[in-house]
Amino acid sequence: MPRGLPVVRLRPRAEARAIRHGFPWVYADELVTDRRTMALMPGALAVLEDGERRPLGLVTVNTRSKIIARMLDRNPGASLDQAWFEARLARAAALRERLFDAPFYRLVHAEADGLPGIVIDRFGAVAVVQPNAAWAEAALPVLIAALVAVTGVRTVVKNGEGRARGLEGLAEEMAVVHGPAPLGPVEVPMNGAIYLADLLGGQKTGLFFDQRPNHAFAARLARGGRVLDVFSHVGGFALAALAGGAAHALAVDASAAALALAGQGAQASGFGGRLTTRQGDAFEVLEALGAEGARFDLVICDPPAFAPAKPALEAGLRAYERIARLAAPLVAPGGFLVLCSCSHAADLQAFRNACARGIGRGGRRGQIIHTGFAGPDHPVLPQLAESSYLKALVFRLDG
């Protein structure tokens, strides 16, 4: 037993087998929460034992979170020094370097890369770190030192915003924590287009790398056609479709800043004249386009998470159904409809059923020709369903 570390213990009826087989979380009702455990500072390290006092590994504890403990290392004697972080980061980087020709990708996908609650996206010489767990916040200086040593990035941005940090009791903060601040949006080459990512003021880390393979698939369907990209952000599916040979794309988003970046990306890519934008609430724009009699060969709807947690599941599924109902009539006969969900709580079957109901209510029928997920730089931990969150359904609609 390593000296100096507190010990936390599973309740007698808690399932230690799941932890032994790779499940990385302990929920609050599974841990003995005596006074010593409750006195631990958020993010503290501890040795986790099962109900029979057998060690299971090194965990981080946050008694303010429903996920009260996260597994860091199966070796209870592991030392979380810079060398430990460098080893985890090097393993993650080796996968991405094999997959991609240029350093633009998700470098660390939290638990699936052995760094619970940590997301790192790389944009060339800049990395954006999201420390979404209390232990990650506490370990940020050594994490940054290891990140610079392994990748050679010149700038590291801390994106301390979002729902996950609130659940951990962490304050929001956006800051450049290493190197010079980025001078304006960063150009990101992807799927034959150039995207502009605002790393300090944009959504999440500035760009959504997870949709890359789904962008590419949709682009094959867009050749020579008219495209509608709803919840487009900085160009999302629209720029990929134009790079793939679409005749024209309309990008719709509530954010004027995001649409401005989409326009700059189209110009930088050499097809600015084939992209138009429309700012507004997505539901209202879809209704207006329907009233206008607009028709497109390819329609994509990639909304934010309508069901980020189980309490929001029913309302979220109704929202996905409504999106499908409004979007389906806009698809030209024989055209394609792509519907996406990044909701953890809505599994594939529930999402597919909601989409099918919405398409039917929109007066259309169709077949699913493809089901897409996040790209390989967003690996899935098999024991953790939450690490597989993104779903993209591609429908070919009848006349």
Q: What is the dihedral of CA 382, 33, 2, 167, to 10 degrees?
A: 50
Chain-centroid distance of CA 354 in Å reads 21
Number of alpha helices (DSSP H) and beta strands (DSSP E) in the chain: 12, 19
Contacts of 184 (CB under 8 A, 6+ apart): none
Catalytic-residue membership of 301: no
Classify 208 in phi/psi space as left (phi over 0), alpha (psi -120 to 50) or beta: beta
Q: How far, in Å, CA of 292 to CA of 311, rounded? A: 36
Tell me how far the alpha carbon of residue 9 is from its chain's centroid: 32
Catalytic residue among 301, 340, 342, 355, which? 342
Residue type, 371: T
Q: How many other CB atoms are there within 10 angstroms of residue 24's CB atom?
A: 24
Q: Are strands 275-279 and 248-253 parallel, antiparallel or unpaired?
A: parallel
Query: In whole angstroms, what is the distance from residue 133 CA to residue 353 CA?
Result: 33
The C-alpha atoms of residue 222 and residue 387 are separated, in whole angstroms, by 30
E-assigned strands of 161-301?
173-178, 186-190, 193-197, 226-230, 248-253, 275-279, 296-301
Q: Which two tokens stand for residue 211?
A: 């949709």
Report d(CA 58, CA 74) in Å as an integer. Answer: 6
Please identify every residue annotated as catalytic. Answer: 342
